[in-house]
């Protein structure tokens, strides 16, 4: 994972070379915009999370873990779209919500008292979930690719 300091150092090293093509700069800005400042990243646990999720008749379960939280995501692909049902454990409590992010949109869902949430009709591709808890740094899953 590249942090801000490493990214800036790499830019300084490259500044003495040929100019960066415009499409590369645009892609870098788009990727940088996807970061969540000060977030803790939940690491994938299990084979599917590390390699991505491929569409199937039945839902695929993906788990991400940190010291503080575990994300269990059930991903279903149907009609070219993605449905996600998830649970954050332990349930983070009142006033918490998750952002279900793709490269093109973000859906915000309040967490149930059990830590459960759901979103339907997402575009296929890259997916990440961020849990926001008052008084704590956000916790995000690493990006996982979901294909139909």
Give the pLDDT confidence score for residue 8 in this predicted structure: 77
Q: Which of 135, 82, 88, 80 minimizes the C-alpha distance to 109?
A: 88
Buried b (16+ CB within 10 A) or exposed e, 73-112: bebbbeeeebbbbbbbeeebeeebebbbbbeeeebebebe
Give the pLDDT confidence score for residue 147 in this predicted structure: 85
One domain for residues 110 and 131: yes
Q: Give the percent of the chain with pLDDT over 70.
A: 87
Give the pLDDT confidence score for residue 125 in this predicted structure: 93
Residue 66: CATH number of its domain:
2.60.40.10
One domain for residues 21 and 76: no
Structural domain count, the chain = 2
Structure token digits, residue 78: 């149907």
One domain for residues 57 and 24: no
One domain for residues 23 and 54: no
One domain for residues 14 and 55: no
One domain for residues 10 and 55: no
Q: Which tens digit of pLDDT belongs to each residue from 51-77?
A: 556 655 568 899 999 999 999 999 999
One domain for residues 29 and 46: no
One domain for residues 20 and 51: no
One domain for residues 26 and 66: no
Q: The domain containing residue 22 runs over which residues?
A: 4-33
* Confidence check: pLDDT of 17 > 70: no
pTM, two decimal places: 0.77
List the single range of 44-53, 69-78, 105-114 with lowest mean pLDDT.
44-53
* Confidence check: pLDDT of 12 > 80: no
Q: Which of 80, 88, 61, 71 minimizes the C-alpha distance to 121?
A: 80
Q: DSSP strand E in 3-123: where?
A: 40-45, 53-54, 60-65, 70-78, 81-89, 97-102, 106-110, 116-122
């Amino acid at each position: 994972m590249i942090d801000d300091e490493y990214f800036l150092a790499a830019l300084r090293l490259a500044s003495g070379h040929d100019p960066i093509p415009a499409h590369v700069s645009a892609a870098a800005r788009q990727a940088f915009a996807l970061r969540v400042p000060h977030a803790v990243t939940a690491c994938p646990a299990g084979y599917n999370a590390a390699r991505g999720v491929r569409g199937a008749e039945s839902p695929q379960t993906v788990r991400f873990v940190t010291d503080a939280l575990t994300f269990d995501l059930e991903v279903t692909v149907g009609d070219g779209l993605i449905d996600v049902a998830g649970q954050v454990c332990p349930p983070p409590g009142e006033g918490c919500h998750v952002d279900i992010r793709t490269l093109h949109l973000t859906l915000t869902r309040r967490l149930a008292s059990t830590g459960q949430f759901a979103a339907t009709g997402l575009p296929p591709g890259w997916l990440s979930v961020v849990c926001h808890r008052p008084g704590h740094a956000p916790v995000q899953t690493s990006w996982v690719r979901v294909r139909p």
